[in-house]
Amino acid sequence: MSPFVYTANPSRVVFGAGALQGLAAELEALGARRALVLCTPEQTALAHRVAALLGDRAAGVFAGAVMHVPLAAAQAARDEAQRLQADCAVAIGGGSTTGLGKAVALVSGLPILAIPTTYAGSEMTPIWGLTEDGIKKTGRDARVLPRTVLYDPELTLTLPVPLSVTSGLNAIAHAAEGLYAHDGNPVTALMAEEGIRALAAALPVLLHHPQDPDARSDALYGAWLCGTVLGAVAMGLHHKLCHTLGGSFSLPHAEVHSVVLPHAMAYNAAAAPAAMARIARALGAADAPQGLFDLARRCGAPTSLAAIGMPADGLHRAADLAVTTPYPNPRPLDRAALRSLLQRAHDGQPPQQ
């Protein structure tokens, strides 16, 4: 066994169909009396259901969560929390809503109770993100880690199939990079492999049976594990490419992850053989990058950057950006190799090692 360091993020996780019904008791356990419920405009009805469950412990609903947490949305939520004298933020939704809760917690220290309804995994991380003038800043701060997370698979039954698939692949990406992270450890490796296994088994079922309770439960369980890995260890080339493409070319978050992941894995394959073996085993595939590409294609996820809006004349700039302030990565970053990786991803070709 190689030496390692493992730091667990302290949060309470309550998992299971119907877990939402325990919300009031969980809020009480946090000692909160005036919760501000956060959501996207599309999930307002669900947020009001949550507020009703909380009764007089609900201070109000703020339905202003937007992708990538624009500073104006963060400021509006912070002002609302202050105006209502909220002592807790309940974030119900995907990564955008959890991100808004984190923006509130970052300045106020309010505890967050997160109720995830996608597989993005933000609820298990102390990572915040804020976008100002088109530039996304991220950082780590223990204050933004949700104190309690309620995982209720019933809330994911409404997640459209295409988003279920891309969000699931987004989660798999956290685990895949966690397996070769320079600060990885045996515990996160176990979680990563099991998270990939659970999601890779559930996504093809959801494709044809989106209401299947067992597949929904398995997918959310996988997402929890993958999110935990993201929160515990450093991410590499794949996340760097996705942040570059998402941030500088406004490409949709989960779709970018779906397209880039097999190519980033292929880039790192020779430098991280043990990680590749575990990913392949979790996928039940002979080869990790090709197995991820096949999974994405089989589940109908986009496999080309061109198809999700990446202009061909932006690939040079994307390669330039990817090598500036790189994330730690098992294979050193080579601009020419990354440029051809981006070309293959753009054109929808299979990954090449």
Q: In what order do the strands lie in the sheet with 148-151?
A: 12-15, 148-151, 112-116, 88-93, 35-38, 58-62
* Shortest Cβ 129–ligand NAD spacing (Å): 5
Would you tell me how many other CB atoms lie within 10 Å of the CB of residue 215? 23
Q: Where are the alpha helices (DSSP H) in the chain?
A: 23-29, 44-54, 71-83, 95-108, 161-178, 186-208, 213-232, 237-249, 253-268, 273-283, 288-298, 315-323, 335-347
- Taking a C-beta distance cutoff of 8 angstroms, is the pair 246, 277 a contact? no
Count of residues of this chain found to bind ligand NAD when the rule CB under 6 A is applied:
28
* Per CB under 6 A, 64 contacts ligand NAD: no
Q: Which is nearer to ligand NAD, 220 or 292 (CB)?
A: 220
* Per CB under 6 A, 187 contacts ligand NAD: no
Tell me which of 147, 240, 253, 346 binds ligand NAD, using CB under 6 A. Answer: 253
Q: Which is nearer to ligand NAD, 215 or 280 (CB)?
A: 215
* Per CB under 6 A, 217 contacts ligand NAD: no
Q: Tokens for 7, please give them.
A: 């730091």
Tell me which of 254, 305, 310, 338 binds ligand NAD, using CB under 6 A. Answer: 254
Tell me which of 27, 61, 159, 295 binds ligand NAD, using CB under 6 A. Answer: 159
Q: Which is nearer to ligand NAD, 167 or 290 (CB)?
A: 167
Q: Which is nearer to ligand NAD, 159 or 283 (CB)?
A: 159
List beta partners, residue 221.
none
Which region among 4-12, 21-29, 112-120, 189-197 touches ligand NAD (by CB under 6 A)? 112-120
* Per CB under 6 A, 127 contacts ligand NAD: yes
User: CA-CA distances (angstroms) from residue 45 to 10, 63, 66, 91, 133?
Assistant: 31, 10, 16, 14, 31
Residues 282-341 touching ligand NAD, rule: CB under 6 A, are none
* Shortest Cβ 252–ligand NAD spacing (Å): 8
Q: Looking at residue 306, what DSSP letter applies?
A: G
Which H helix or E strand runs over 12? strand 12-15
Q: Tokens for 313, please give them.
A: 């004349």
Q: Which is nearer to ligand NAD, 253 or 278 (CB)?
A: 253
Tell me which of 64, 95, 101, 314 binds ligand NAD, using CB under 6 A. Answer: 95
Q: Which is nearer to ligand NAD, 87 or 255 (CB)?
A: 255
Tell me which of 11, 148, 167, 244 binds ligand NAD, using CB under 6 A. Answer: 167
- Taking a C-beta distance cutoff of 8 angstroms, is the pair 263, 343 a contact? no
Q: How far apart are CA 54 and CA 92, in angstroms?
A: 13
* Shortest Cβ 159–ligand NAD spacing (Å): 4
Nearest to 38 by CA among 68, 5, 70, 81: 81
Q: How far apart are CA 311 and CA 306, in angstroms?
A: 7
Q: Which is nearer to ligand NAD, 17 or 163 (CB)?
A: 163
- C-alpha neighbours within 13 Å on the C-beta side of residue 4: 15
Which region among 53-61, 83-91, 123-131, 264-272 touches ligand NAD (by CB under 6 A)? 123-131
Tell me which of 117, 188, 290, 303 binds ligand NAD, using CB under 6 A. Answer: 117
* Per CB under 6 A, 223 contacts ligand NAD: no
Q: Which residues bind ligand NAD (CB under 6 A)?
A: 40, 42-43, 67-68, 93-97, 99, 117-118, 120-122, 125, 127, 129, 155-156, 158-159, 163, 167, 230, 253-254
